[in-house]
Amino acid sequence: MIKIEIHTLAGQFDIEIKKNEDFYILLVILSKSQYFQEDGRVWSGKIEETEKLFEIVNLIKECYRKPSVPTRITILDGRSIKINLKDDESQIALRLVDIDKNTNESELIQKIKELTIEITGNDAILQDYLDIFMD
């Protein structure tokens, strides 16, 4: 199971990937926020091709083993990204505060966005929320 929790001043955005008996399910939850016109929203989809999913798992493990060293002073911008991975081999918890381009963390966030968009059918509204919460 992978759980990504993104907290910002604008609201909370969660992405969960869970294993069912024969396949994986992606669940995206946008919590109600005073800054958005929506009272919350949910997207879901079945992950049929697991290649990208395993790339994400490997990136999470790589970010945990070798986190990128910040190149500048980090000031919390009101966004917190927590990523939890629980599989047969390990249980990993990451907390990303500053995500520089060309790092494992940046690649991880990009792969998560790509998989989410692909599985949910290129939903334009979801793409906007992914950009707001993950960029």
CATH number at residue 58: 3.30.1560
Domain that holds residue 56: 2-69+76-134
> What pLDDT score was predicted for residue 70?
67
Q: What is the pTM of this model?
A: 0.85
> Would residue 71 be called left, alpha or beta, if left means φ above 0 and alpha means ψ between -120 and 50 degrees?
alpha
DSSP state of 23: S
> What pLDDT score was predicted for residue 34?
64
Q: In 9-72, where do the E strands start and end?
A: 11-19, 24-30, 41-47
User: What are φ and ψ of residue 18, in 5° steps?
Assistant: -125, 150
Q: What is the pLDDT of residues 51-94, one digit of tens each?
A: 999 999 999 999 888 887 766 666 666 778 899 999 877 799 98
Rounded Cα gap, residues 99 and 131, in angstroms: 14
Q: In 1-135, where do the E strands start and end?
A: 2-8, 11-19, 24-30, 41-47, 80-86, 91-96
User: What is the pLDDT confidence band of residue 28, given thresholds at 50, 70 and 90?
Assistant: very high
Highest mean pLDDT among 25-29, 30-34, 64-68: 25-29
Q: Is 109 exposed, middle or buried (0-12, 13-18, 19+ CB in 10 A)?
A: buried
Domain count, the chain: 1
> What pLDDT score was predicted for residue 72?
66
Q: What is the mean pLDDT of residues 36-49?
A: 84
